[in-house]
Structure 1
Amino acid sequence: MNLDDAKKRIQNYLNSTKKWALIVDVQTKTDLSEIVDFFKIGENKFPSMEELCSQDGIIKLDELYDIVSNNSGNTFISGITGFLMLLGEETIRKTLKNMITSNISGHVVIITYQCKKFLNFSDPRIKESGRLVVVDGNADSVCDVCFIAPTLAGIFPGSYQGIQKIGYIVENCRYDSAYIATKVDRSFFSETLYHITQLNNGYDILCDKDSRTSIVPRYLGSAEQWNYVLQRMGKCGNWSSVIAENFGSESNLTHAIIGYELFDKQKKWLYFVALSICGIKDNEYLQLAANRASNSDELIKSIFRTILTLDWQNEKFKDLYMQRKELIRMLENSLSMTIDFCKVVSVKEENAIFYLTDLTQPEKEKIIAWLDTYGSNYTREELISILNNVYPDLASYLSKFHFKNELLDSYFETYKYQKVVNRILPSFEVVVNEQSTKMEFVTLLKPRTSYIDKLDMQNSRAFFIDALGVEYLGFIQQKCNEYNLSVNIICARCELPSLTEYNKEFVETLTLAGCPISDVKDLDEIKHHGENSFDYEKEKTPIYLIKELEVIDDLLKQIQASVFGGQYSKAIIISDHGASRLAVLHGTENVWSMATKGEHSGRCCRISEIDSKPDFAIEESGFWVLANYDRFKGSRRANVEVHGGASIEEVAVPIIEITQKSTNIEAFIVDTSKVLTLGAKEHAVIKLYVGIKNNNIAIKLDGNYYDAEATVDSYVYSVDLKEYTKKGKFTFDIVNGSEVLAVEQQFEIKKKGMTEVSLFD
């Protein structure tokens, strides 16, 4: 029967007095829609089948039967085919038969969709009575049905909410597939006539959308997590789009870790999966750490600990170490992991040093502890080589500063080594005791007062750093070079006793010259009061050195900003006295008791308190001042370091001028020094041109440094090379402290008479 005839049959039925229902089966959605639209007029009723369902449930057939049997007027029932097909053939036949054989009042038209093969009822009277109308036509396609978890609804913008939509879907959906967000499992519909698939886990969908998903096993994420990715991905996205949205791009994954601690749990998991799927091309260490972590909760721990699985002697170790260091630098709030790592790194025993960094206080303290345990097994040069990688600032502290004097060079190199390894070498104590009587520092170092008046203070600012000894000069020199600052250093001696009250004469001189001066008390506070548990009685290792270097570095950065910013052109750093750690380590009292206990930790006492001169003491300013490592009996112990005495480290003080480094400083060997003709018992003396005036000009020749002295001619310096007497060609570099000014300069030594002998031959 064609559609028009079917409409007439329906209209005739509605005009009749028949008391049974009429079934009209159509083969296409278009025909179904036309019938509904044609009869949706007047008082004709079209009850919603969804209202006969509970939320996310199927149709209640009893309520459907009630509508049919208790009908009054004209009622059209559509939208039931989907439910019936879902429940299976037996339900279809039974339900349609029950409705068509019910006695009713009024008229009920039941519109079914592609159900004609189920309308062959065993009772021939049903067909004969005209209760069945089949509209001809080529059946159109019925969509496949896919049940999806409600959490996936956002992934499929056209999805339907709840199983109660099945009736509408079957008769209206014109796509190949329909997605129903439901908690119902498809197994509940074992007799269904539809092809139903189910996706409760977004992993399968992800694999279909982007094949890279299969790189990561399903168990790595929960259903909720895979669904979370799908929601982020959307209908047309892939892993690249998700990663770009959350982390910038696939190539940005390494840098994205900087925000890791602020990620929520889902985003941390997503980051971990992204590492596995995309791989890390710019940080091999991060890839190793991700591979070793079994889940996202272990990623940060793996980043900290994977280094311990590597051999520090492997050729790739240094690169991986630096990659890890950069990652940890970005993980700013991982103190607990750092502390955990500092504990477990102990399993490396003596090799632990190679796995530590200088990024955090706990690691720096671990390095200091390692130096206390193992440091004395290494020479100073070996420690510098190791620390250049793991703690560059501490390596700079240990670096050599050229005092232009062999005693001072050797003394402070050895002093700093002992300070970091936390012990006194017997050979060094011999030197200290010798100097306590020889007092060579008196002639080696001029008084500070002899230099202050000669300083150029124009457009300068001074910084009075209490207790800054010359032991820090190598560190200051290297840091200034790093910060593009030029540094000119003069070494002097303070007045005795080495106390602030006897060493502040420069304050008045600077003030009268109009040079502002700032007091920097931090170093002295650390040395006197044992801030942050640095007290020697509580902490035997010199962890306070960490803070000392930070204080100096912070000041140099401040100076850099001010000089570069034009607030002043020169900074002058000046100190009242130095201090001694080794006197604290020595821990010995001499036989003399002080009447007044506790004055200056026993490094000096007033002469009136003792009649005879103590051993190793110097008389100065009404005090006996100890020049060895003793302290007067009965005095209190120093907390961290001590001053007031006359050891070289307490007495030697720096005067440091810092300016912005000049660009392209010209430096070269003068022409007259390029070829030297020496006679018997003569040695080489070369002259240099250096375009700045500085006390720290030197040359580096055959691995050794030779100081340059200013001559009467401005910018011309002379270098006395007593060891170079034999003929040959020699190559050297010109340096200003740690700054290299010129490389591969060359001079040649010839011997007098050699040409004449050659002629005779």
Structure 2
Amino acid sequence: MTIQEVIKKIDRYLKKDNVEPLIVDVQNKADLEAIMLHYQLPQNVFLCASDAAFCKPDEFPVIPNILERLAHENTNFFVSEITSFLKLKGEKALVQELKELLSMSTEGHAVILTFQCVEYLHTLIKNDRRLDSRICVLEGIPSARPKLIFTAEGIQPTDASALVKGLRGMAKAVESAAAEILYIETAKSKDQYPFSLYTISDLKNPYEVLCHLDAMTSVLPESYGDEENWQYALTEFRKYSSWQQLISAQIGSVNNLDIVISTYKQKASNKKWLWLYFIGLKLFHAGNNSYFNKAIETATSPSGLIHSLYRTILEEDPTDKDFISQYRQRKDLLNSIENPLDEVSGFCKIVQSKGKYALCYLTDNTLQEKELIFKLLDRYSEDFGRAELLDILERIYPDLRAYLTAYHFKSELLDNYFQEYKYQKVVNKIFPDFMTLVEKQAVDRDYNRILPPRSSVIEGIDVTDTQTYFTDAMGVEYLGYIMSRCHALKLMAKVTVCRCELPSITSRNKEFWDVLSTNRFPIISVDKIDKIKHHGEEGYDYSREDRKLPIHLIRELELIDELLKKIKTNLTNGDYQKAILIADHGASRLAVIHGTENLWEMQSSGKHSGRCCPKSEVDERPDSATDAEDFWALANYDRFKGSRKANVEVHGGATLEEVTVPIIEISYLNDAVEVKIMPIDSTATFTGIPEIFVSFRKKAAIKVFSTEKLVDVSVVIDGHTYEAKPTADNFYVVEEMTEIRRAKTYSVDVFAGGMPVATGLPLRVKKESGSEKNIL
């Protein structure tokens, strides 16, 4: 039937007396509105199943209450929405209700406006032809039946959807909205309507809701968070319409989430922030930080992210070209999160499965890793070439590599001896060739010829405005490290190497005290290194099975660094102009490792862990012992009987490491220092390149000028190092550079106290004949 035909039929119906309800079925919103508009007259009453009188906000309507009015009130009723509600209960309930409507008696007139019920009404007519006159179907294009989504509070529909508050509004929306999806904010669930003629889905848990609000959510497994996490995000979505907006507002730009890791530690107590940061990383990744992105891929939780940051490196091969960059990115990331103890401990256990290559994965971020480095060096050092091992240490433990840096003593014996000594101390072994050298020096004692006694040096030291630090047991083995740290701290260090008094014990080696201690600057004692070496303080005890490694060196290097930083602070503050580090004696780690006693039986027991022994008239001096006034001092790695073994390191004997001591004068190098080089017999030029002349008889020579007073000045030219002697007024002279003979332009580097103060200074060398040859 057309709409005009339907209206005529309704009009005829309304004129009858004592009639039963008339059912008018419409197919779309427009026709329904047209009929209702046509009959909007004072004598007509419109009832909707969703009216508050029949339906609570989130409940199914009470249809008998509607029928009650129809049965007892003498008026013209137009009733809608009943069938749209009944479709929730299914076809059986719908057909049964249509039957009841058609069979009921009414006091007045009742036009029941059904919605898209053609097939069910035709079935009723087919079964009872008498109903045909009481049913009319308005033909038209059917509206699409919407999909229903039952949701929790907080859903914002998409463009092709509508939002309904409570179940009561569902039928009206079905019959009046053109939405493809209806979001019903309700406490009901689809399980309550198993026979529904609508397609219903539940969107009740926060994760499902978020998937609908932002499609990016679907790439995140629900297991990435608990209900509380997802509910937190859903609550935030009321302010921010997408993950990108939410992460940007609460965490930081989604393009720079790798930078946010720097705030991780201070945010660690905020569980919501940690979770949201984790979600942000899973969705938007960590910028260009390739290692971070690899770790994110395997992480499934905020704590799992930290675990992945530690463990992902283990999937990398240390021989791959990208390994070093991945390693460095990881190290920075772990420092940003301050290396949580549990993860460090677990990593230190699992990394050992890598065998000798475990070294390549460790860092110097934590004490546990540093101790493991020493353990692995002890176990695997002989599986590496020395150069390869030093390269690894340069990356994983720069301070330890700096300790192993060569210090040039201007003595081949000392250069070779201390490089070997330090390396063997670190790897916890004594090599046969070195042991032969020790035994030889125990007899030859060349240090008496090479090294001046300290007492002959200290009188010439200028102590004006100088603070001296007495660093007990800090031998020359640390000079490579000290010079490296001075370089980093922009400190100049003038080093004088000498020998202490024998035996190498503190009571015999304080002759410098009165000379270097002044009323204004009394000597400050620094004895922590000594206490670690000789008393096992801070837990370093060689007698324990788990402590038979040189791990005390970790703390020793830290103490030296702390002292140098303190000195720099005092120098830059102007507290004094110079600092002096002076040691009473050195110490020997290898004598402890060697662990032997002397075969000679002495009248007196050994002292200082058996390194020396009081003399007695009946004693016969061992070949390896030296006369130290009223003591015998051993110059090899034996021990006199009768003394307790040393736990960590030992002194009192006459090995090179016990006897050789440094005096280090430290001053601050002003950043504004300017340096000029010039011919030895000329002044500086400020334009062009300085030139010098050489000939068969005339050796290359230069003069260096500095705007600041420098110490221990040297120049490096063409790979050769030359000492520059101070003259006056900040001038320093290099009198002969015998290797510099070719006519060309050289590059000159100037050093002061081991610090580069000027680099790449050009110097043109010409032949004295005047003819230029091969000027490059």
Shorter-chain TM-score bucket reads 0.7 to 0.9
Q: Which residue of 1 aligns with 2:420?
A: 414
Q: Structure 1 vs Structure 2: percent identity of aligned residues?
A: 37
Matching residue of 1:467: 473
Partner amino acid, structure 2, of 1:349 = G
Contact preservation (8 Å) 2:585, 2:660: yes
Provide the residue aligned with 2:550 in structure 1. Answer: 542
- Does residue 710 (structure 1) correspond to residue 714 (structure 2)? The answer is no
Query: How does 1:396-411 map onto structure 2 within 5 Å?
Result: 396-411=402-417
User: Judging changes above 3 Å, is the alpha-carbon distance between structure 1 residues 95 and 751 closer, same or farther for their aligned structure 2 residues?
Assistant: closer
Residue from 479, 482, 487 that aligns with 1:481: 487
Is 1:607 equivalent to 2:615 in the alignment?
yes
| Equivalent residues of 1:710, 1:718 under 8 A apart | no
Q: 1:425 to 1:256 in 2, by over 3 A?
A: same
Question: Which sits farther off after the overlay, 66-75 or 149-158?
Answer: 66-75
Equivalent-residue separation in structure 2 for 1:675 and 1:727 (angstroms): 12
Question: Aligned residue for 2:714?
Answer: 698
Q: Structure 1 residues 170 and 424 mapped into 2: Cα distance closer, same or farther (>3 Å)? A: same
1:137-179 superposed Cα distances (whole Å, 9 cap, x missing partner): 9999899453244376488999556545535755887977542
- Give the one of 605, 623, 631 matched to 1:623: 631
How much has 1:491 moved relative to structure 2? 2.6
- Per-residue deviation, residues 618-640 of structure 1 (Å, max 9, x unmatched): 33353222222222112111111
C-alpha contact 2:85 2:171 (8 A) present in aligned 1: yes
- Residues 51-80 of structure 1: per-residue CA shift (max 9 Å, x gap): 4x9xx6644667877898899999999875
Report deviation, 1:480: 1.9
Q: Are residue 429 (structure 1) and residue 428 (structure 2) matched? A: no
> Could you tell me whether the CA contact under 8 Å between 1:27 and 1:137 is conserved in 2?
no
Q: Give the match for residue 372 of structure 1.
A: 378
- What one-letter code is carried by the residue in structure 2 that aligns with 1:696? D
The offset of 1:372, in angstroms, is 1.7
Measure, in 2, the Cα distance between the counterparts of 1:410 and 1:155.
Answer: 79
1:581 aligned partner = 589
Corresponding residue number in structure 2 for 1:86: 88
Contact 2:469 2:525 in 1 (8 A): yes
Write the letter of the residue equivalent to 1:252.
Answer: N
1:558 aligns with 2:566: yes
Aligned partner of 1:27 in structure 2 is 32
Deviation at 1:182, TM superposition (A): 4.4
What is the Cα deviation at residue 481 of structure 1? 1.7
Contact 2:360 2:392 in 1 (8 A): yes
Where does 1:269-288 land on structure 2 (aligned, <5 Å)? 271-288=277-294
Tell me the secondary structure at the aligned position of residue 608 of structure 2.
helix
1:330 paired residue number? 336
Partner of 2:310: 304
Once the two structures are superposed, what CA deviation does each residue of 1:571-592 show, in whole Å capped at 9, x if it has no partner? 3333222211111112121134
Corresponding position of 1:391: 397
Q: Any conservation in 2 of the 1:146–1:197 contact (CA below 8 Å)? A: yes
**Structure 1 length normalisation: TM-score?**
0.79
SS at match of 1:628: coil
Partners of 1:428 and 1:30 in 2: CA distance = 111
Q: Among residues 616, 641, 665, which one is paired with 2:673 in the alignment?
A: 665
Q: What letter is aligned with 1:247? A: I
Q: 1:707 offset after TM fit, Å?
A: 3.6
Q: Is the 8 A contact 2:651 2:658 kept in 1?
A: yes
Q: Indicate the larger mover: 654-663 or 573-582.
A: 654-663
Q: 1:536 to 1:66 in 2, by over 3 A?
A: farther
Give the equivalent residue in structure 2 for 1:518: 524
* 1:398 Cα deviation from its structure 2 partner: 0.8
Asked if 1:571 corresponds to 2:587, the answer is no
Is the alpha carbon distance of 1:432 and 1:206 closer, same or farther for their aligned partners in structure 2, counting shifts above 3 Å? same
Contact 1:496 1:502 in 2 (8 A): yes
Specify the alignment match of 2:97 in structure 1. Answer: 95
Instruction: Look up the SS of the partner of 2:310 in the other structure.
Output: helix
* Counterpart-to-counterpart distance in 2, 1:361 and 1:38: 92
> What's the TM-score once normalised by structure 2's chain length?
0.78
State the AA in 1 paired with 2:584: D
Equivalence for 1:147: 149
Structure 1 residues 164-175: aligned runs within 5 Å:
166=170
Q: Deviations over 1:327-351 (max 9, x none)?
A: 2222324333333333333343333
How far apart are residue 290 of structure 1 and its match? 2.9
Root mean square deviation of aligned Cα: 5.1
Contact 1:29 1:140 (C-alpha < 8 Å) held by counterparts: no
Please give the residue correspondences for 1:233-382 in structure 2 after superposition, counting only pairs within 5 Å.
233-234=237-238, 237-258=241-262, 262=268, 271-293=277-299, 298-376=304-382, 381-382=387-388
> Structure 2 CA distance, aligned partners of 1:155 and 1:451?
88
Of 750, 759, 771, the residue aligned with 1:734 is: 750
Alpha-carbon separation, structure 2, partners of 1:36 and 1:581: 110
Question: Judging changes above 3 Å, is the alpha-carbon distance between structure 1 residues 612 and 336 closer, same or farther for their aligned structure 2 residues?
Answer: same
Which of the two has greater helix per residue? 1
Change (3 A) 1:116 1:354: closer
Distance in 2 (CA, whole Å) between partners of 1:495 and 1:533 is 30
Q: Deviations over 1:105-126 (max 9, x none)?
A: x999999685897999979999
Counterpart CA distance in 2 for 1:98 and 1:367 is 88
CA apart distance, 1:376: 4.1
1: distance between equivalents of 2:42 and 2:352?
82
For 1:647, the equivalent position in structure 2 comes to: 655
Asked whether the 8 Å contact 1:27–1:113 carries over to 2, the reply is no
Deviation track 1:601-650 (CA, whole Å, cap 9, x = no partner) reads 11122224864434333333532222222221121111111112222222
Paired letter, 2:636: N
Q: Specify whether residues 639 and 401 from structure 1 end up closer, same or farther in structure 2 by C-alpha distance, changes over 3 A only.
A: same
How far residue 600 of structure 1 moved from its aligned partner, in angstroms, is 1.3
Residues in 2 aligned to 1:552 and 1:449: alpha-carbon distance in whole angstroms? 24
> Does structure 2 retain, via aligned residues, the 8 Å contact 1:677–1:751?
yes
Larger mean CA deviation between 670-679 and 218-227 belongs to 218-227
CA contact (8 A) 1:404 1:707 kept: no
**Counterpart amino acid of 1:600?**
H
